[in-house]
C-alpha cells in the first residue's frame, strides 16, 4: 500500500509543479494563449483520475496511480519543451495551452464532427454485427452451408477493411455510403467467422439434449445456439467497436467533408497542427468513452464478464 501511496503523491507532486510552471513561469513563445482553458482541462482530467482511483480501491489503485503519473509527466514535459523553454518546433509542436484552448474555441465544430462520425459508425457497425451473428448461426448449424462459407470467411476475415477503402470511395455513390460499407465489411467477416467457430465449439451434450427434446429449428437457434454464443459476442464488442471507429477515421482521411478523421486531416493540410493535435485527443477520448460504455454493457448483459 505504501508503494501505491507514493505513486499517488508523486503524481500529484508532478501536477502541482506543472500548474506552477503553467501559471507563474513566463512563456517564451509569443503565440502561447491564456492558461485558463488548460487549467480547466487539468481539473477535468484530475477529477476523472480521482473518481477512478477511489472506485477501484485496494491494490487495483496502483495501475491508476501509474497512469496519473505518466499523464502528468507527459504534460509537464510538453509544457517545458514548448511554452517554458521553446525547445520544440513552434509550428509542429503547439503549446498545450493552445491545444486545450482549441476545445473552448471550436467545441461546437468538434461536437458536430464527432456526432457525424458516430452516426456513420452506428449505420455500419450494428447492421454488420447483426448480419454476422445471424448468418454465422445459420452457417454454423448447417453443415453444407458451413463447408461453403468457412473457406471464404477464412480468406476475407484477415484482410483489413481499410484495404477496400480507396475502391469503395471510387465506386460507391457517396462517401457516406462508402464509409458505411467499410465499417460493415470490417465488422462482418471477423464476427461471422467467429460466430461459426463458436457454434461448432458448443458441447455436443448440449446439442444432443436439445435434439432429444425434438425442438424446432427456430427454437434450437433462439433457445440453444444464441444463448450459448451470446457471451462471446458481447465480450468481443469492445475490440469490434474500437476497430470500427479506427477504420472510420481512416476512411474519413480519404475525402470526407465531415467527421473527426476529416477534421484532423484538414487541419494538417492547412498546417494547423494545434487543431490537429486537439482532434487526435478528441478521438482518443471518444474511443475511451466507447470502451467504458461497452464494458458497462458487458457487465449488465453477462454477469460473469
- Cβ atoms of 237 and 297 closer than 8 Å: yes
Same domain, 82 and 30: yes
Same domain, 11 and 159: no
Give the model's pLDDT for residue 113. 93
Same domain, 54 and 178: no
Q: From CA 91, how far away is CA 272, in angstroms rounded?
A: 8
Q: From CA 22, how far away is CA 26, in angstroms rounded?
A: 8
Pick the last residue of a domain from 41, 67, 92: 92
Give the model's pLDDT for residue 57. 65
Total of domains in the chain: 2
- Cβ atoms of 280 and 113 closer than 8 Å: no
**CA-wise closest residue to 195 among 247, 235, 144, 245:** 235
Same domain, 264 and 279: yes
Same domain, 65 and 109: no
Same domain, 6 and 84: yes
Same domain, 83 and 198: no
Give the model's pLDDT for residue 160. 82
Pick the last residue of a domain from 71, 92, 113: 92
Give the model's pLDDT for residue 84. 93
**The domain spanning residue 217 has which CATH number?**
1.10.3720.10
Same domain, 110 and 72: no
* DSSP assignment string, 78-123: HHIIIIIT--S-TTTS--HHHHHHHHHHHHHHHHHHHHHHHHHHHH
Same domain, 71 and 214: no
Same domain, 125 and 255: yes
Pick the last residue of a domain from 72, 92, 112: 92
Same domain, 104 and 82: no
For the chain, which residues score pLDDT lower than 50? 1-3, 304-305
**Domain coverage including residue 159:** 99-301
Same domain, 186 and 51: no
Give the model's pLDDT for residue 1. 42
Amino acid at each position: 500500500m505504501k508503494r501505491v501511496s507514493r505513486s499517488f503523491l508523486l503524481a500529484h507532486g508532478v501536477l502541482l509543479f506543472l500548474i506552477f510552471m503553467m501559471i507563474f513561469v513566463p512563456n517564451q513563445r509569443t503565440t502561447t494563449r491564456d492558461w485558463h482553458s488548460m487549467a480547466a482541462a487539468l481539473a477535468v482530467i484530475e477529477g476523472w483520475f480521482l473518481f477512478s482511483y477511489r472506485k477501484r480501491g485496494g491494490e487495483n489503485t496502483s495501475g491508476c496511480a501509474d497512469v496519473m503519473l505518466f499523464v502528468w509527466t507527459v504534460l509537464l514535459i510538453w509544457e517545458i519543451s514548448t511554452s517554458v523553454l521553446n525547445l520544440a518546433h513552434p509550428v509542429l509542436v503547439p503549446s498545450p495551452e493552445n491545444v486545450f484552448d482549441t476545445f473552448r474555441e471550436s467545441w461546437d465544430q468538434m461536437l458536430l464532427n464527432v456526432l457525424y462520425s458516430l452516426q456513420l459508425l452506428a449505420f455500419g457497425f450494428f447492421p454488420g454485427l447483426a448480419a454476422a451473428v445471424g448468418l454465422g448461426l445459420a452457417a454454423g448449424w448447417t453443415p453444407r452451408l458451413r463447408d461453403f462459407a468457412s473457406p471464404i470467411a477464412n480468406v476475407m476475415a484477415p484482410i483489413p477493411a481499410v484495404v477496400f477503402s480507396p475502391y469503395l470511395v471510387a465506386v460507391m455513390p457517396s462517401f457516406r455510403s462508402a464509409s458505411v460499407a467499410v465499417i460493415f465489411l470490417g465488422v462482418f467477416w471477423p464476427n461471422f467467422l467467429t460466430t461459426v467457430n463458436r457454434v461448432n465449439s458448443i458441447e455436443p451434450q448440449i446439442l444432443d439434449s436439445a435434439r432429444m427434446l425434438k425442438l424446432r429449428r427456430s427454437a434450437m437457434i433462439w433457445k440453444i445456439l444464441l444463448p450459448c454464443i451470446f457471451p462471446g459476442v458481447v465480450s468481443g464488442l469492445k475490440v469490434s467497436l474500437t476497430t470500427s471507429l479506427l477504420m472510420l477515421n481512416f476512411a474519413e482521411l480519404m475525402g470526407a467533408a465531415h467527421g473527426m478523421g476529416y477534421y484532423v486531416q484538414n487541419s494538417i493540410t492547412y498546417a494547423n497542427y494545434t487543431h490537429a493535435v486537439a482532434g487526435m485527443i478528441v478521438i482518443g477520448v471518444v474511443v475511451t468513452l466507447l470502451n467504458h460504455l461497452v464494458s458497462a454493457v458487458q457487465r449488465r448483459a453477462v454477469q460473469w464478464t
